[in-house]
Structure 1
């Protein structure tokens, strides 16, 4: 006797998941998609299996907003374990170097300004960056030498939350593409020692923070009708962008992919990026030029 296949739903919105330790981002998306029986799902910004914290999971039409959320500012809390370098720059890798040097709190504070602003960072060998079409972590696991060129990343701020002889806890606010594992490695090297990430928690991605998060346990425990109330609307992904409200005629035109002239004293003449709505629902993302909204991506909400 076979079990009837569960019908997929055209459901849209955001699940701001507090991803648990030792779960991949792909596994988390699969679990959430199954729980909501969603036709479509994706995530905004991969988290390592050993990391916990904010993993925004988009269902349905929210998947169209993934680039905006993924490009948003991120906040991480991480621990540097002093004295040991590993192949992966975290606790999962094999030890490759050790040092007896343990930096003082004063030395740590003094070196952090070197790691703020736009900095050059060499990503870890075990990363998802592609080299000649192959993922760096696949090449590294195969024993091949991985040479990743340094790249510019933006680090807005770093602060020390706790300092100890064997481990220090820090918080960093940074932009897309910043590797916290590389940051821990490089801070340790600048202090004349070795170090790796002992724990990593992402506290914010774009508009989403720990305060918005739900756990897998919360989702599994909730009845289906209650579970749906835990979804944030598609528009939540645009909380950091300007909103323009359209009238019915404008909304119809934009839904057909056409630009519209914005009217009214408060209408913007120019915007690099924004979103437009009608009766609270997302209609499209786009930009404003010479007082005209031009759609980049239309939503079927």
Structure 2
């Protein structure tokens, strides 16, 4: 997964907007709508969702685009429905059916295979994916009849839960996973493990890192807020994406040194801070940027122009 970015003339709007992406839109189309609504000069999104998927799409505006990588690397939660007995070319409902089976797994069989798909596992990405093969997108090759044989790669599945079985043909799951995991591949592989076929019919992302459905706005509600010029209602601070990074509060002069690319010194036994690693630097209640600590020295990595 990768982040799209748009930069045009506009207003200096800085922060995160959490959008509940509707079905039928690409992530880039959704990004364009948000950028137009907010009139932000710069915007990017934190993780692609297919048009057939709905749910959480974090969108960074202005200086928040400098923190997109931290959101991309965070854990995600998806709820998805698998249709048993049919394999499709795309591993979802968009593709043509390429194989069928009369076998339908019962709940006991499904529960029995779930442990195989948790932890660090090897997963073969779908042929219809955005991965590049010799400079070309895998889905472009697949559409041209040259579907690539993608090598399995390690992904992290933190939890996989069977939520419901509406009927013999369908099962609903919820998965917590790390970066790079494909839900479509998970459905395909679950089907194979159960002696049948499987593909995704519905997919919804309910969490990206700390961004959940409780913070999300539909495009319609966002449009209404923007018309009222109520940016405070939808905009989260730039540093929201950095909640997992320890914060270092510095003085005004220290902040100025960092802004000029110069290191600062802090106490070796600074309370609550690790001896090395990345820090979120704040001064006067505002985020200054991201810095790296090594012993008593703190060097700027990425600064915010807020």
TM-score if structure 2 supplies the norm length?
Answer: 0.93
Structure 1 partner of 2:64: 62
Structure 1 partner of 2:283: 278
- Aligned with 1:225: secondary structure? coil
Tell me the alpha carbon deviations over residues 27-51 of structure 1, each in whole angstroms, 9 at most, x when there is no partner: 0000000001111000000001100
Structure 2: runs of 5 or more not aligned: 1-7
* Whole-Å separation in 1 of the counterparts to 2:54 and 2:122: 26
Determine whether 1:220 maps to 2:231: no
TM superposition shift of 1:96:
0.5
Moved more, 269-278 or 168-177: 269-278
- Aligned with 1:217: secondary structure? helix
Is the Cα contact below 8 Å between 2:11 and 2:39 reproduced in 1? yes
For the structure 1 residues 96 and 270, does the alpha-carbon distance in structure 2 shift closer, same or farther, using more than 3 Å as the test? same
* Whole-Å separation in 2 of the counterparts to 1:111 and 1:267: 42
Structure 2 partner of 1:94: 96
Is the Cα contact below 8 Å between 2:246 and 2:279 reproduced in 1? yes
The number of residues matched between the two structures is: 296
- Of 205, 209, 231 in structure 2, the residue corresponding to residue 206 of structure 1 is 209
Structure 2 partner of 1:3: none
Structure 1 partner of 2:5: none
- Of 150, 173, 186 in structure 2, the residue corresponding to residue 183 of structure 1 is 186
Determine whether 1:138 maps to 2:143: no
Structure 1 partner of 2:239: 235
Tell me the alpha carbon deviations over residues 16-66 of structure 1, each in whole angstroms, 9 at most, x when there is no partner: 000000100000000000001111000000001100011000000000000
* Whole-Å separation in 1 of the counterparts to 2:228 and 2:259: 31
* Whole-Å separation in 1 of the counterparts to 2:277 and 2:80: 34
* Whole-Å separation in 1 of the counterparts to 2:125 and 2:290: 32
Structure 1: runs of 5 or more not aligned: 1-5
Structure 1 partner of 2:4: none
- Aligned with 2:35: secondary structure? helix
Determine whether 1:291 maps to 2:296: yes
Tell me the alpha carbon deviations over residues 181-236 of structure 1, each in whole angstroms, 9 at most, x when there is no partner: 00010011100000101111111111211111000010122224114531111011
For the structure 1 residues 214 and 131, does the alpha-carbon distance in structure 2 shift closer, same or farther, using more than 3 Å as the test? same
TM-score if structure 1 supplies the norm length?
Answer: 0.95
